[in-house]
Chain A
Amino acid sequence: MDAVFWGVCLRLIQATLQAAPFIFTGLCITGMLHRLMGHAHTKRLFGSNSVLSLLQSWLIGMLLPGCSLGVIPIVKQLRLSGIAVGTIFAFALSSPLFDPLSLLYGLTLSKPMTILIFAACSLAVVTLSGTLFDWLYPLTEIEVTEPAPTPPGVKRLLAILVVMAREAVGTSAILIGCGLLGVALLSIALPPGILQRTMGHENPYSPLLMTAIAIPAYATPMTAMSQLGSMFQHGNSIGAAFILLIFGAGMNLGLLMWMLAYYGWKKTSIWFVIMLSIVIGFSYGIERPLYPRDIEPADHTHAFDNYCQPFHASSPPGGGYPAEIWRRVMLETQPHEWIGAAVLATLVLLGLALHWLDRRWVIEMWLNRPTQIGQISGNSRWDITVPGPVLAMVGFVGILIASLVGCFAYYPSPSETLEELNLAKTEALGGAMSRQYEHALHWIPICENWTRRLQVGTYLRYGEVSPYHRMKARVFLDHLEALEHAVENGDSQEIIRKEITAASRGFSQLSRAYRDELVPIAPQPSLSAQAHADNTSQRPQIPHNR
């Protein structure tokens, strides 16, 4: 019982920290839609009740970074702006699937075309389901009286902050809590590692099982993408991978509760059945055509261990559960997640303070009080009043640019990445060598992550990752995988040592390829020239021309 309870605590903390930056972004977008765009302009931006509006919303969702918990306050605001359900869900489902970070990551996976086809399929899913639902229920647009506009200036910015703070402790927070409840329920229901052998390509039930897991599960776009990478690497079901992306990243219990609360069980059920039919239909349709033929399938994967209980009741951690949770959280949490969590906590405190203050003084009364023209614009001809929708669009473009710039920070240059990878590799191989297997198993996924980031960082800076460099990364990843299995299976030290040697050699070759051979050396010589080179030189000179 202890293992289950503390396991739920760990999973909730992990999910909350991962979601925090996205929830903050979602609150920012909500605040800007609410106080700057207004209902009419929001409806014009997203459209409503037409096929074109579904495409518009899908595109906006693809561009803006988000996760399925972060979109909850946004979909609430879209509903208040009088937008139809089909259009809202086109945005809600597409926004968490990809962002620039995860899309770049996905394009370095073994089959980048599969990711592009997944993106195209997601467009087909939202278009088909949205069109069908809007045709069945054309009257889902509501009319809500818009609150008084806030006068331009600092007050207008403060008003955005107030909206964000109120949502952070309002119904959005409750719905986000429902979304996180799914994570807790899964972690109670699924014993440790139970999903490791369930998503095989040959198993016809893999997509169905994945549907049952993915709907209550929560995954950020990057988590979903790395899980997809693991599934491709292990030759798992492609249909299940597609469902993981659509439902695991795009859906959660909070979104379902939102639909149930505002549209009733009948509409929710019909929408849900339409979605399930289309997504599951697609998943079976793409299973065979997209399955990679050059992969030797494994009968397992660790990609879904994060949805199961983290602790084995039979082997509790030596230092106790709270200490183990603390250790894992400190090890795993990324800097941007800490920052997101801190900002979110501040917003929650501010929201609680405003709630307490409401009994005596409602801040919106002061914020929305009309200001005299002279007080706003002053006398300078440069001090112009920028319309709210223009400011909102600047804000959205700013978020998009920030996420693109963030790509360069998250995916550093190859030389920097190789240094990080070298450190992680030393920890992983050192752990395996000294029989500190838990240490090794912690660092191997970090090595895998840095190897993928190495490829994306190269792509960002050089415009391509050559087949040679892809192959070097794949070989190193395969050796890491083999070492991971040897350690997990409790293989003999001789086998583990052999895998360590292979992984170490794989890293040296990878490192040389990315340090010295990123730029092609010269045009290919003719066969006779090659034969001459073969006879005269054992190793060609490689210029250091990075």
Chain B
Amino acid sequence: MEHHTPAHKPASFALAVEQLHERVKGLEQTATPEEYEQRWDELLDIVRWLPELAGDSDLLRTDWERVQRVSQDLERRLQPLSKDSPLTSDVAEFCQAQLEQLQPLVGRSMASIPGPGPR
């Protein structure tokens, strides 16, 4: 395929939610500043991809709109933060709380897709 697909783009909405949980936790523990900046950028990318990935799933309109709201809320909260300073615990808690809202949608997003779900 000639469209460039970034390596960190999750293949599905379910994987995106799972990765976001892990990446938010990982950010709190990341050591070097270079690594931190890259992971920060990737985290924001995945947050922005959430509506598209949810759109490519079996989620119905109300659920998709919830994903879009969560994506926008997360981006609004994360975007102004500096990449240089580590993630504060209140921001991390906010992110995890937002992601918790998406957890019930993961199962519904794969209603018609056979095969394994998130790891």
Contact = CB atoms under 8 A, between A and B. Distances in A.
Interface of A: 234, 294, 296-300, 466-468, 471-472, 474-475, 481-482, 485-486, 489, 505-506, 508-509, 513, 517, 520-521, 524, 527, 530-531, 534-535, 538-540, 542
Contacts of B105: 534
Given A296-B4, A296-B5, A482-B1, A530 B66 contact: yes
B52 to A, nearest CB: 7
Contacts of B108: 538-539
Contacts of A298: 2-4
Contacts of A294: 48
15 contacts: A298-B4, A299-B2, A299-B4, A467-B65, A471-B55, A482-B1, A482-B3, A505-B112, A506-B56, A509-B58, A517-B60, A530-B101, A539-B60, A540-B60, A542-B61
**Interface secondary structure of A, over-half rule:** helix
B111 interface: yes
A450 to B, nearest CB: 19
A296 B61 contact: no
Contact of A475 (B1, B56, B107): B56
A509 B57 CA distance: 8
Given A509-B56, A524-B62, 15 more contacts: A296-B3, A296-B6, A299-B2, A299-B4, A485-B1, A485-B2, A489-B2, A509-B55, A513-B61, A527-B101, A534-B104, A535-B104, A538-B107, A539-B108, A540-B63
Nearest to B5: A296
A296 B52 CA distance: 12
A508 B4 CA distance: 26
A500 B2 CA distance: 17
A133 to B, nearest CB: 43
Given A299-B2, A468-B64, A521-B62, A474 B55 contact: yes
Contacts, number: 75
Contacts of A538: 107-108
A468 B5 contact: no
Nearest to A527: B101
A44 to B, nearest CB: 52
Contacts of B1: 482, 485-486, 489
A482 B4 CA distance: 11
Contacts of B58: 509
Contacts of A539: 60, 108, 111
Contacts of A471: 51-52, 55, 64
A298 B11 CA distance: 19
Contacts of B57: 509
Nearest to A471: B55
Contacts of A296: 3-6
A485 B3 contact: yes
A535 B107 CA distance: 12
Contacts of A521: 61-62
Contacts of A506: 56
Contacts of A466: 61
Nearest to B63: A540
Contact of B3 (A481, A508, A517, A520): A481
Given A517-B60, A521-B61, A475 B55 contact: yes
Interface string B34-51: 000000000000001001
Nearest to A513: B61
Contacts of B6: 296
Contacts of B64: 468, 471
